Amino acid sequence: MENVKIKSIGAYQGRYLFLVSIGQVDYRVTLSRDYWLELTDGSQPAEQLILDSIMFLLSHEPKESILKEFDLEDIKKYFPEFEREIKNI
């Protein structure tokens, strides 16, 4: 598994923006404060939720198939089991 790096690059009106790097590939991921709280109850940092979500994606598809820019909440559109699995981590 390739090294995953996550860097918070800003926040605006309750939304957080992260730069995720997997090897030589970068992704821009947004996350709303409300969705972070829904999935974690605030029990873990947003960066950990992003990491767990990226690992979820990598376990379901190759990194080349991951959208270069997406909102974390969009994952459930493609993988209905996402929220259930991520809450159990």
* Number of domains, the chain: 1
pTM of the model: 0.93
- What proportion of the chain, given as a percentage, has pLDDT over 90? 87
Q: What is the pLDDT of residue 1?
A: 56
pLDDT tens digit sequence for 43-52? 999 999 999 9
pLDDT tens digit sequence for 47-85? 999 999 999 999 999 999 999 999 999 999 999 999 999
Distance from C-alpha of 53 to C-alpha of 83, rounded to nearest angstrom = 9
Distance from C-alpha of 53 to C-alpha of 8, rounded to nearest angstrom = 15
Domain that residue 19 falls in: 4-87
The residue written with tokens 């790096």 in the block is: 5
